[in-house]
A and B are shown apart, each in its own frame.
Chain A
């Protein structure tokens, strides 16, 4: 139940969307002393889960410390690549990561924002915005009743379908050629190594994308894939591809849930700020365009957005010019790295099945202790010099793009 009785007429900062990016923005802005309203359109924060739920342990620890056991479905130490013809290569590098329970994790982040002083309302959908003074009037549907709140600054953290940015005149739509159309099942009755994340390539499995298996504890896993429309016959959907592959790979598995979704495989939007407004998370296209991972980059985007916006609210200058600092800070934090990753991702999408097959086979032929990034890279370079130089970066960065930048210095209290 949304508690609209708590609603005031005006806030320093209104955050639209209570995913990881929005909650971190609200949390940071509240810590900086702003009055903050955090709006979530769904009735429950964290649901529905549209995510494979993988994240580096470092990112979780930086924001909330060591997570309670019920928030972690599986602890991941290895990543395994599977080529189109089924050859596998498990890299020896430890990748200290979690598969989260997003329903619990997202609530924990929102709870941090509340502890810092933010007001959170669920079942509350932003309907429109118009400029008012140097801020915004935000119209909100709360449990079916229309309210208007004034904000000195707005954070648009409303996901891939972001309309908040469009209301402020930003071009937020994702070109079709950059949209990875995804489908995922939570499967039970699957035998998977609960410490390994598996990534599967193949034009017949997930054209211009990949399939993933993220363990979720006991005999369950998040099993999904993403495809690019241009690479697949128009009548075959992402769900069709997934159904076909699961029948082959996990016959007899049961579905505990399923969802559709999309991941913008693109660089960050050219402009993620406007007068009195900043965008964060998927709304700003802050997902890592190589791995498709978006939780930790969204959290860092939100944390940065909340900090910059709060600072400008305090200085009574939320002009587009002043908020451009957010664009610049984001670009040096992760935006430029994502531009590099995007270029590598284009190479991956151009890699043929036979190239993936031979690379996986070469890697698998090595003793495990020699199955390093270096080995992957050197073999790749030999077979296709131009490809492999870039693949090197691909393997290195697959999970390790988490350099630790952009996190709080210690978990904020």
Chain B
């Protein structure tokens, strides 16, 4: 997954819905950890559509 920074408000909804504790939000933005399974829940929950699948292949 990747986060489009300009749309992100760092509200933490992505972290809240992640069942794998794989999304961290801090001052620098949104970070996806190796535990990410690309399940897409964070992208669906995001109030601004800031999270999208990362088609480059990396988590």
Given contacts A176-B41, A181-B13, contact A260 B21 (CB under 8 A): no
Q: Are B15 and A261 in contact (CB under 8 A)?
A: no
User: A176-B41, A179-B45 are known contacts. Are A160 and B18 too (CB-CB below 8 A)?
Assistant: no
Q: How large is the interface on B (under 10, 10 to 19, 20 to 34, 35 or more residues)?
A: 20 to 34
Residues of chain A within 8 A (CB-CB) of B49 are 235, 237, 239-240
For B2-28 the 0/1 string (1 means CB < 8 A from A) is: 000000010111011111010011100
Q: B3 to chain A: closest CB distance in Å? A: 12
In the complex, the answer to whether A261 meets B13 with C-beta atoms within 8 Å is yes
From B12, B18, B44, contact of A234 by CB (8 A): B44
Residue A159 CB within 8 A of the other chain: yes
A181 touches B47 (CB 8 A): yes
Set B11, B21, B45, B47: member contacting A176, Cβ < 8 A:
B45
Asked if residues B44 and A229 are in contact (CB atoms below 8 Å), the reply is: yes
Q: Is the CB of B48 within 8 A of A183?
A: yes
| Interface contact A179-B21, CB-CB below 8 Å | no
Interchain CB contact under 8 A, B18 and A262? no
Given contacts A183-B47, A237-B46, A239-B49, contact A175 B13 (CB under 8 A): no
Q: Which residues of B contact A238 (CB under 8 A)?
A: 47-48
Interface residue from B17, B24, B45, B48 paired with A239 (Cβ < 8 Å)? B48
| Contact between chains at A163 and B48 (CB < 8 Å) | no
- A163 to B15, Cβ gap below 8 A? yes
* With A161-B25, A173-B17, A179-B17: A262-B44 Cβ-Cβ less than 8 Å: no
Flag if B26 contacts A262 (CB, 8 Å). no
- In angstroms, Cα B47 to Cα A278, docked, is 29
Contact string against B for A residues 149-184, beta-carbon threshold 8 Å, 1 for contact and 0 otherwise? 000000000011111001000000111100101110
Report the separation of the CA atoms of residues A259 and B25 in the bound assembly, to the nearest whole angstrom.
Answer: 15
- The yes or no answer to A50 lying at the interface (CB within 8 A) is yes
The proximity string for A residues 235-260 relative to B, scoring 1 for CB distances below 8 Å and 0 otherwise, is 10111100000000000000000111
Interchain Cβ contacts under 8 Å between A and B, 25 examples:
A50-B11, A159-B12, A160-B13, A160-B15, A161-B16, A162-B16, A163-B24, A166-B21, A173-B17, A173-B18, A173-B19, A173-B21, A176-B41, A176-B45, A181-B13, A237-B47, A238-B47, A239-B47, A259-B9, A260-B13, A261-B11, A262-B11, A262-B17, A262-B45, A264-B16
Q: Which of A's residues lie within 8 Å of B, judged by CB?
A: 41, 50, 125, 159-163, 166, 173-176, 179, 181-183, 229, 234-235, 237-240, 258-262, 264
Known contacts A159-B12, A179-B13, then 9 further A-B pairs from the complex at CB < 8 Å, ordered by chain A residue: A160-B12, A161-B25, A175-B17, A176-B17, A182-B47, A238-B47, A239-B48, A261-B13, A262-B45
